[in-house]
Amino acid sequence: MTSTNDIRRSFLDYFEGAGHARVPSAPLIPHNDPTLMFVNAGMVPFKNVFVGLESRPYSTAVSSQKCVRAGGKHNDLDNVGYTARHHTFFEMLGNFSFGDYFKEQAITHAWTLLTKEWGLSPDKLTATVYHTDDQAFDLWRKIAGLPEERIIRIATKDNFWAMGPDGPSGPCSEIFYDHGEHIFGGPPGSPDEDGDRFVEIWNLVFMQHLQENDEIVADLPRPSIDTGMGLERVAAVMQGVHDNYDTDTFKALIAASEELTKTKAEGEQQASHRVIADHLRSSGFLVADGVLPANEGRGYVLRRIMRRAMRHAHILGAKEPLMHRLVPALVAEMGAAYPELVRAQPLLEATLAQEETRFRQTLANGLRLLDEATMNMGEGGTLPGETAFKLYDTYGFPYDLTEDALRARGLQVDRAGFDAAMAEQKAAARAAWKGSGEKGSDELWFDLAEELGSTEFIGYSGHEGEGVVQ
Ligand code: ATP
Ligand code: MG
Ligand code: MG
Ligand code: MG
């Protein structure tokens, strides 16, 4: 079996062998974009190179980039534990061309690596292209010999990428792996595409236009390539499993939580083990890159992730803080590839232990309140917003934790009611500070908090990596 660590290495070696500069992963906190919460794609650290603001001593590069999609436009937090292919933290393998090679070579590289180097069966692969991109369609015919019915034209934004309203843009071509008839789902573009049978493994972006105000105004004189392949997804393919959570890395992490909780990752408990393994990784990598749990901004996203994992540890019957005891398994799996994890191990263990100790003081009472409030609710019921707010305010339950807790029972939360209760409390706090007459620092803080969203990062504008804090 090819290990996840081997696959990462093999990807980097392949492209380095083809002349690409091997660039280490950038930290998860974007240094070149204050509006972006976390690095969420391999191209983010290269943004300025693509737009010509920065130059590098190379024109092609390869990386395995740490990514977090747990806030903002790309938010996969709610998918975790429920789909086979989404994580909050994952590694994006990517090769990049800055005005060097273009479509033909990008497709050739992808196809060669997948089918020759790694030996995947061409019959299992399907490509999508943007509906007007005849060039890519023809290249998939020519290079890969894919039959026409397995080159699918897609007309949606899924196959058109833009850096923002202004800047480079272009069509994408995505490669899907068919995990087999025994799994529900149809090919991309079909009515059943949301199933899990066809899994997107690699996205090739052909940057060929220049946009202004969301309109294409020119073609780039030297088009560029940005690709991203999910390491965990391709590991599942190469290890002959359908589910990312059945790959070597996740199996090791889940074995550790099984051992410590004396439970099995089966039946109802499977999702809990998966959430714990996933959130252990994102917590670990975020702490290693300098994020600590807090009540606002990035730190609050981290706190949400940690507390959600901690609720699942509680579900599994953990009587004592659990998460920090899983850190050695994480470091054993990933510390060689990411030495920052090894360096952060003591801090990570201490942070998790402290957060879980604090949260456990209110967790049981909060869950009791939640049970009482929903006792008589049948499937489809809605928890009042004020109750969700009380759980947040008094028991330290992030909103999405409450949502996650009710999801398994088919219940929802009244989001608008929650927001209203939150706004009311803010207004009351603001009024209480009105005393001094002039606008003091506290009131300025309230303004700022309101502007930036003191407790929760709500979203991005509609463009890749161009985050606007709402
Ligand atoms: P999906 O449609 O499955 O959500 P995506 O189109 O949002 O994926 P891209 O933005 O194209 O993903 O990212 C490039 C690659 O990164 C994807 O092809 C996939 O292999 C991987 N990837 C994206 N999101 C995740 C995630 N949350 N967890 C694991 N891998 C991911
Ligand atoms: Mg997605
Ligand atoms: Mg997609
Ligand atoms: Mg994609």
Distance from Cα 58 to the centre of ligand 3, integer Å: 29
Q: Does 69 contact ligand 1 (Cβ within 6 A)? A: yes
Q: At a CB cut-off of 8 Å and minimum separation 6, what does 173 contact?
A: 107, 127, 128, 129, 130, 133, 136, 140, 159, 203, 204, 206
How far apart CA 324 and CA 192 sit, in angstroms, is 40
| The token pair that represents 117 in the structure block | 């180097």
Q: Which ligand is nearest to the CA of 86?
A: 1
Supply φ then ψ for residue 349, to 5 degrees: -65, -45
Q: At a CB cut-off of 8 Å and minimum separation 6, what does 345 contact?
A: 327, 328, 331, 335
**Tens-binned pLDDT, residue by residue, of the chain (470 aa):** 799 999 999 999 999 999 999 999 999 999 877 778 999 999 999 999 999 999 999 999 999 999 999 977 778 888 888 888 999 999 999 999 999 999 999 999 999 999 999 999 999 999 999 999 999 999 999 999 999 999 999 999 999 999 989 999 999 999 999 999 999 999 999 999 989 999 999 999 999 999 999 999 999 989 999 999 999 999 999 999 999 999 999 999 999 999 999 999 999 999 999 999 999 999 999 999 999 999 999 999 999 999 999 999 999 999 999 999 999 999 999 999 999 999 999 999 999 999 999 999 999 999 999 999 999 999 999 999 999 999 999 999 999 999 999 988 899 999 999 999 999 988 888 787 665 555 555 555 555 544 444 333 333 333 444 333 32
Q: Show the 3-state SS of 151-163.
A: EEEECCHHHEEEC
How far apart CA 78 and CA 187 sit, in angstroms, is 23
What residues are paired with 153 via a beta bridge? 129
| The token pair that represents 136 in the structure block | 């890519």
| Alpha-carbon separation of residue 116 from 109, 244, 378, 426 (angstroms) | 10, 23, 54, 59
Q: Which ligand is nearest to the CA of 228?
A: 1
Beta strands in 300-452 (DSSP E): 382-383, 412-413
Cα angle 204, 210, 213 (rounded to 5 degrees) comes to 115
pTM: 0.90
Ligand 1 nearest atom to the CA of residue 202, by list position = 18
Residue nearest atom 31 of ligand 1, based on CA coordinates: 230
Q: Does 202 contact ligand 1 (Cβ within 6 A)? A: yes
Residue type, 345: Q
Ligand 1 nearest atom to the CA of residue 201, by list position = 20
